[in-house]
Amino acid sequence: QSSRLFHPESIVIKTKHSIISNNNFTIMAGPCSVESKVHVMKMAQAAKNAGATVLRGGAFKPRTSPYSFQGLGEEGLIFLKQAADALDMDVITEVMDETHVHMVEKYTDIFQIGARNMQNFSLLKAVGKTNKPVMIKRGLAATIDDLLNAAEYVASEGNHKIILAERGIRTFDNKYTRNTLDVGAVPVLQSLTPYPVIIDPSHAAGHTELVVPEALAGTAAGADGLIIEIHDDPDHALSDGAQALSPKQLLTTCNKARAIKNIV
Ligand code: PEP
Ligand code: MN
């Protein structure tokens, strides 16, 4: 059972280089997609400089259009892990399909379940059978109870290393803000579950200039960490360039977030 009623103590997730829990603040950063060996290495260095202990990067991309860049696949995972290993960082990457779980597991420290797959119950059960932490992103139109049930699917298979991510939901206005960041979800999820709650301001905001205020709002609401997309040449990014922070913007944002959290 995932509820606080059965699990009053916060769950502490320890990976090689990170401690993810209600008593810590974890920064995950990296490109939306792994683009090349050289590029992901450069972005890993930028993430590390900002204090990130987890390197993000997609190799299997759930794109809105089937004609958009779909990711480098397993080769991308090799590049991602090489960059993380070189800098003593953990890897988080999305697993899109239950048949890929064992292959992705070889390269990642944390599985990411994408918003579009939040109710893919066979995928949730498959990652629930592994021993690796699983970050579940709230679906585009998922209620908090839907997200809790997604977590329950993972937990029911025996894996309680669960991280919940609020990444913005669809509301009636998506012209200026891609999605609406539900900051209230942070304290609600923390009160209902023992799991750490991470804010993804990048996919919530959709636009670079909105990422910083949403990151700070999520932090102020009590988030246990942030996951942020970065790029050094956003105009030519293979995905999500419009919402990427530059390495410098990432550093100043993380510094501000740490100041809110009173971490020096
Ligand atoms: C991503 O992390 O790049 C991503 C596709 O996120 P989401 O599933 O939240 O849209
Ligand atoms: Mn993205």
Express each pLDDT in 8-45 by its tens digit: 899 999 999 999 999 999 999 999 999 999 999 999 99
Task: Look up residue 88 and give its two tokens.
Answer: 């003593």
pTM value?
0.98
Please give the tally of structural domains in the chain.
Answer: 1
**Ligand 1 proximity of 203 Cβ (cutoff 6 Å):** yes
* 145 falls within a domain: yes
| pLDDT surpasses 90 at 190 | yes
**Ligand 1 proximity of 137 Cβ (cutoff 6 Å):** yes
* Residue 100 DSSP code: G
- Contact, 119 vs 141, CB < 8 A? no
Express each pLDDT in 74-130 by its tens digit: 999 999 999 999 999 999 999 999 999 999 999 999 999 999 999 999 999 999 999
Structural domain for 169, as ranges: 13-260
* 7 falls within a domain: no
CATH number for the domain spanning 217: value is 3.20.20.70
* 3 falls within a domain: no
**Ligand 1 proximity of 32 Cβ (cutoff 6 Å):** yes
Question: Residue whose CA is closest, atom 1 of ligand 1?
Answer: 32
Q: Tell me the best of 91, 94, 179, 226 to mutate to test the pocket of ligand 1, counting ligand atoms within 8 Å of each CB and taking the most.
A: 94
* 30 falls within a domain: yes
Question: Residue whose CA is closest, atom 4 of ligand 1?
Answer: 114
ipTM over 0.95: yes
* 6 falls within a domain: no
- Check residue 196 and give its pLDDT: 98
* 2 falls within a domain: no
**Ligand 1 proximity of 47 Cβ (cutoff 6 Å):** no
| Interatomic CA distance for residues 73 and 61, integer angstroms | 9
* 1 falls within a domain: no
* 193 falls within a domain: yes
